[in-house]
């Protein structure tokens, strides 16, 4: 999804930058994949944080994704990214 572009959410559309500003105002956002802390709104937008919808998931209908995870996911593809992520989590907790 292009940064700042609207995405479909609950039957309507939401602008990613507007969503980031709203979420940043709570000071409680984290990357869904790596738990990086969401910075202030202007910095999050400038750095390239994304807001994504997770269809069918009852736990969270939208997630935040940091620029590092966006880049790695684009580079490795979904399967490779999730495999690397699970290995990092296992190595840090096992």
pLDDT digits (tens, 9 = 90+) for 36-85: 999 999 999 999 999 988 777 565 578 899 999 999 999 999 899 999 88
The yes-or-no verdict on residue 8 having pLDDT over 60 is no
- Write down the pLDDT at residue 15: 85
- Write down the pLDDT at residue 88: 76
Higher pLDDT, 35 or 53: 35
- Write down the pLDDT at residue 90: 57
- The answer for residues whose C-beta is within 8 angstroms of residue 78's C-beta and 6 or more apart is none
The yes-or-no verdict on residue 2 having pLDDT over 50 is no
């Amino acid at each position: 999804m292009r940064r700042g572009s609207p995405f479909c959410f609950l039957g309507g559309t939401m602008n990613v930058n507007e969503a980031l500003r709203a979420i940043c105002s709570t000071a409680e956002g984290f990357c869904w994949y790596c738990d990086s802390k969401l910075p202030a709104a202007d910095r999050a937008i400038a750095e390239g944080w994304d807001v994504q919808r997770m269809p069918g998931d009852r736990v969270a209908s939208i997630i935040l994704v940091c620029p590092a995870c966006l880049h790695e996911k684009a580079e490795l593809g979904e399967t490779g990214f999730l495999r690397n992520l699970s290995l990092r989590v296992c190595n840090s907790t096992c």
